[in-house]
Structure 1
C-alpha cells in the first residue's frame, strides 16, 4: 500500500463536546480514523438523526487523563492530536451555570502526569482542579502534548492542535485568556526539543453550532453579530478590542483540517482566517 493510501489517525480529547463533535465529524468526512477520548467515553447527546452517519464511525473511548496508561497506546499510533477541552469559568458551579440554559451540555477530559512546572502531580480525587484555569486550560494541554510527542515516531510529522481563544469575552476573568496564552507559549517551546512537530493554535471567538436553533448560544450569537455590524459600519471599528464576530464550530473544524494538511504551517490561527472557512 502506498503512503498516500494510509489512513491518517487522529485523536480528539473532548471529542464529544460542543466543538469536539464537529472536529470528529469533519475528520470522518475527510477519511480520517477518529478516536474521541472523554471521561464518559460516550457519543455526544442531543444530536440530529443525520449525525448518526458519522457518530457510528468514531471510536468513542473512555479515559482518565490523570492516568496516561488509559490513552498512551492510542497516542502512540496517531499522527495528530486535538486538545478540545477546558473551562470558560472557574468555580464549582461552572457546569450548573452552563446547564441552566436550555440545550446546554458540558463534557471534560482530564490528565495526570506532571509537565515542566506541574509539581506535585494533581490528585484525581481533588475535584477542585476540575474547575481551575491552570489545570484545565493549560496543564492538561501540556501533559497531552508531551505524552503524544514522547510516544510517537520522531521521524514522522506529529501535529498537535490546541483550541485557544481569540480574546477574553466580556465578563470573563482574565485568568481564562492568560491560561490559554501560557499554554500556547509552552506548546511552541516544545519545538526546541521535539523534531517534526507541528503545533497549531486555533483562536476562535464565541462559538455556535450551525445546526442548533434553540440553544442560548444562538441568542448570544445574534447579539454579537449585531454589535459587530454596528462596530464595523457605524463606529469605524473603535470597539474591536471588545466586540468580535462569532464563529461556527463547523468553520473552526474545517479550518483545523486545512491547517493540518498545510505541510509547512505552524503557530496561531487567527479569527480572521477561521472566518474564511
Structure 2
C-alpha cells in the first residue's frame, strides 16, 4: 500500500511539473484555453523584378519612333539602334530612349547595344536599286537576327510588308530581301519570332521640319478596304485591295508581340494586325 501511495505522489509531481511547460486541451466546460500568440513575420525588402529591355532597330524612323514611344508608355526600358544615333524628334519622351549609333553590316559596331536586351523589334527597311533594297531589307536584318540569337535575346519582331501580288515585281529586291529575312527569323526563332506584314502604313510623318498628315488618305482607305476583305482574294489583283493600317496600331501590336510570351509566333497579316490592335493589352 505504501508503494502505491508513493507512486501516485511521484506521478502527481510529474504532471504538475510538466504542466508548466506543456499545454493540454481541456474537456472541462469551465476551463478555456489561452489564445495562441501569433508573431508577425518580418518584412523582407525584395528588389523589384527587372524591367524588360527592348531594342528597336531603326528607332529614329517613322515606324520606329512610334514603337519607341509605345514601349515607353508600357513601362519598358527602351534602346534604339540606327546609323545616325539619336533621333531629331524633340518630344519629351525621346529623352527616355537610350540611343545607340551603329551599322548592322558591322556587328562589332553595335553588339554592345544587345547587352541586357530581352526582345528586339526591327523596323529596318528601305528603297533604291534592287541590290540596295535586298541589302537593306534582307542582309541587314539577317545580321541582326543572327546577332540577337547568339546573344540569347528571347523574342524578335520583324516589321515586314504585305504581299501585293504582281506589284512585287516592280520592287523585286525589296520583297526578296524581306523574304530572306523572314526565312532567317523563322529558322532562328521558331517559338519567339513574329513577322508583321502591314500594307501601307499611315500617320503623321516628319520630313525635316515638315509634318505630312498621311492619315488624310490612309484613314478613309482603311475604313473602306477593311470591309472589302473578299476583294483581296481575287487572283493577281486581289492583294492591291489590302487595307492601310495606322502606324500607332503597328507599334502597339509590335510591342505586344515582343513582350507577351503567349503572343503566337509566326506571320501576322494586315487583318491580324488590325484585330490585335483593337484588343486590350494585358
**What residue is the counterpart of 1:117 in the other structure?**
none
* 1:104-141 CA distance string (max 9 Å, x none): xxxxxxxxxxxxxxxxxxxxxxxxx9x61221111111
**What residue is the counterpart of 1:150 in the other structure?**
150
Q: CA deviation at 1:165?
A: 0.8
Q: CA deviation at 1:27?
A: 0.7
Q: Which runs of 5+ in 2 are unaligned?
A: 1-44, 278-282
Structure with the larger helix share: 2
Residues 192-271 of structure 1 mapped to structure 2, 5 A cutoff: 198-209=192-203, 215=212, 217-218=214-215, 220-221=217-218, 224-225=221-222, 228=225, 231=228, 238=234, 240-264=238-262, 265-271=264-270
CA contact 1:159–1:260 (8 Å) conserved in 2: yes
Aligned: 1:273 with 2:272: yes
Aligned residues between the structures: 224
**Which of 40, 59, 69 is the equivalent residue of 2:84?**
40
Q: CA deviation at 1:229?
A: 6.7
Q: CA deviation at 1:183?
A: 1.4
Q: Which has the higher contact order (CA 8 A, sep 6+)?
A: 1
CA contact 1:15–1:38 (8 Å) conserved in 2: yes
Q: Which runs of 5+ in 1 are unaligned?
A: 92-128
Q: TM-score normalised to the size of structure 2?
A: 0.69
Q: CA deviation at 1:255?
A: 0.7
CA contact 1:210–1:248 (8 Å) conserved in 2: no
CA contact 2:55–2:78 (8 Å) conserved in 1: yes
CA contact 1:227–1:243 (8 Å) conserved in 2: no
Superposed CA RMSD in Å reads: 3.1
**Which of 148, 155, 161 is the equivalent residue of 1:165?**
161
Q: Rg bigger for which structure?
A: 2
**In structure 2, do the counterparts of structure 1 residues 205 and 3 end up closer, same or farther at CA, with 3 Å as the change threshold?**
farther
